[in-house]
Amino acid sequence: MTDPDAGPDAGPDGGLAEPAELQPEEGSLRLVGEGDSYDVRAWEAASAAVLRKARRLGEDAPDADVWAALTRTTLDGIGVAPIGQPSDLEGLTTSGRPTRTGAWDVRTQVEVVDDRAANEAVLQDLENGATSVLLHLDEERGRDWSTVLDGVLLDLAPVVLDRPSTEQVEAFAAHLEGVEGPLHPATNLSLDPQTLEMLAHPTGDAPRDHVAPLVRRAFQLGVRALVVDGTALHDRGASDAQELAWAVATGVAYLRLLDEAGFPVEQAARTIEVRLAATDEQLPAIAKMRAARRLWARVLEASGVDGVEMALHAVTSRPMTSRRDPWVNMLRGTVAAFSAGVGGADALTVVPFDEPLGLPDAFGRRIARNTSSLLIEESHVAAVADPAGGSYAVERLTDDLAVAAWEEVGRIESAGGALADEARAGVEERVRAVRAERDAQVADRSRPLTGVSEFPDLAEVLPERDPRPHRYVHHYGAAFEDMRAEPAGRPVFLATMGPISTHTARATFATNLLAAGGVAVEAAGATSGAADVLEAYAGQPVAVLAGTDAAYAEWGADLVAALRAAGASHVVLAGKPGERTVTDVDDSCALGVDALGFLGRIREELAR
């Protein structure tokens, strides 16, 4: 049976293997044709000049330091270089290309709260570009499947469920057994007991008691039976490698259960669909889809299975979406959808931009399905199989991610496999650590969220949506959005120093930072001295100085003393306190500050 401990050693095409030997021209990057190359050292020099101007590289630092300055590290500890090089292809462990050719399955999401309304939404989607549907069911009610699927041509349009309970799977299967004629083979009963257990959803009996009987029913119906839902772990804060590993390890556990029940492994593998999240981090998202196929191919190779391809369903990330400035979710979803399509997903669900607000309306669902339609029909993203294949950066990232995920699979297997309580506890502990690291990056805005932690609009009016079924998601910007949900009752006084042209940079920085926490400002405007600032002061308890270092040094101390005398109880400096600025302040804010901590302190002072 499957042995993930075999590791990512040599395998057939599509599995884990050494790539063909490459002999790139040393010291150059091939950009276009045989006679067109660019010297790496020239690129380093040009990039270093820009970084020095931006004060991101020391004047005496060697040009080669631009690689470290511009390389970012993922939450899995994988470096993403600014550009790819031929040397990136040296020492790769894995190989294989996505197997999807042509357009992906446009799988739209429909929330099933009211059966008739859900049916109307399903038919509207299928008539306007969708090719299959993903149904998310209200846990508190049974469904009248004859109403929900009334008029749906089930031989042409696959139907898949989103994290259903075992009882809902049973009811869905019973309905399909009463349908006359064939069903689309990509329809899925969508049983995933391991995900339900991880989400603390009551499953009744042990997982093994449900899997084999429902798989037999699925074979009789000619459809799939199982979903391995990696997005459930992603929604709780998992990294890419953790999500991949959990999906692979859970798939292995299901194969073992079916093997014990007497199913041929090849037959069992065909009944599983894997569901993964695609984020708006373009290159990692592309690499994630490609790595998933390589990992699953390795599992099937170790199981003695040949010729069975992964059924891969991508869903755009929910944690990356925001309630605030929800229109930005359209952009996030588009980048994620592009990445999933390029990465080789067989089916793609774009989460409607307005889902964080409640039940998506017709416009939100239209934008979601049209995102795929535009990428396929107008941008022709699906015209080429594996368009990212051969990219130095993508191949390196795919390999690194596959190796990191395989190591996590080994940790899960060493703890007893995905069905073991010890393994699940270990996964949850490691996910919490990653989640804490990401939260810290969001807090200091090194991982910025447009419309939430950056460029917030305190005056925005959010669209209204009806309530939708509960779904646990740890939104990346939740801490900022919680503050925005309860705006501060009083504004901050922005003590701008000097003409607008000199104070605007720091004033804008402070205004945006405060707005991210639901705090408004009242600015003094153009000033020429402490008297001008005090004339605009209206007794606010918190005052923020915003000016140049020269202005701080010249009259900053006098202004701080004057503001305190006028009633300001908490004075903040926009910038870093020091001999060249102002020292007698209560707090400060500058690039890299723990924004959440700072905003919490400001809100406490305003509430006094």
pLDDT tens digits for range 447-462: 999 999 999 999 999 9
Most distant CA pair in the chain, distance:
87
Q: What is the pLDDT averaged over residues 188-209?
A: 73
Average model confidence (pLDDT) for the chain?
91
Q: Full-prediction pTM beyond 0.85?
A: yes
pLDDT over 90, % of the chain: 82
Q: What is the pLDDT averaged over residues 112-136?
A: 96
Walk me through the domains of the chain, giving residue ranges and CATH numbers: 105-430 (3.20.20.240), 483-607 (3.40.50.280)
> Bridge partners of 313?
275, 347
| Phi, psi angles (nearest 5°) of residue 588 | -150, 160
HEC-encoded secondary structure of 226-263 = EEEECHHHHHCCCCHHHHHHHHHHHHHHHHHHHHHCCC
Q: Which of 187, 269, 197, 204 has the alpha carbon at shortest distance from 232?
A: 197
pLDDT at 21 over 60: no
Scanning 461-594, the segments in alpha helix (DSSP H) are: 478-485, 500-516, 530-536, 549-551, 557-566
HEC-encoded secondary structure of 440-463 = HHHHCCCCCCECCCECCCCCCCCC
Q: Which one-letter amino acid corresponds to residue 105?
A: D
Q: Which of 516, 506, 520 has the alpha carbon at shortest distance from 598?
A: 516
State the Cα–Cα distance between residues 68 and 79, nearest whole angstrom: 9
Instruction: Look at 140-144, 288-292, 398-402 and tell me which has the smallest mean pLDDT.
Output: 140-144
- 577 pLDDT tier (thresholds 50, 70, 90): confident
Instruction: Look at 207-221, 367-381, 399-413 and tell me which has the smallest mean pLDDT.
Output: 207-221
Token digits of residue 503: 């104070």
Compute how many other C-beta atoms are within 10 angstroms of the C-beta atom of residue 9: 12
- 98 pLDDT tier (thresholds 50, 70, 90): confident
Q: What is the pLDDT averaged over residues 324-342?
A: 97
pLDDT tens digits for range 253-312: 999 999 999 999 999 999 999 999 999 999 999 999 999 999 999 999 999 998 899 999
Token digits of residue 236: 């709780």
3-state secondary structure of 425: helix
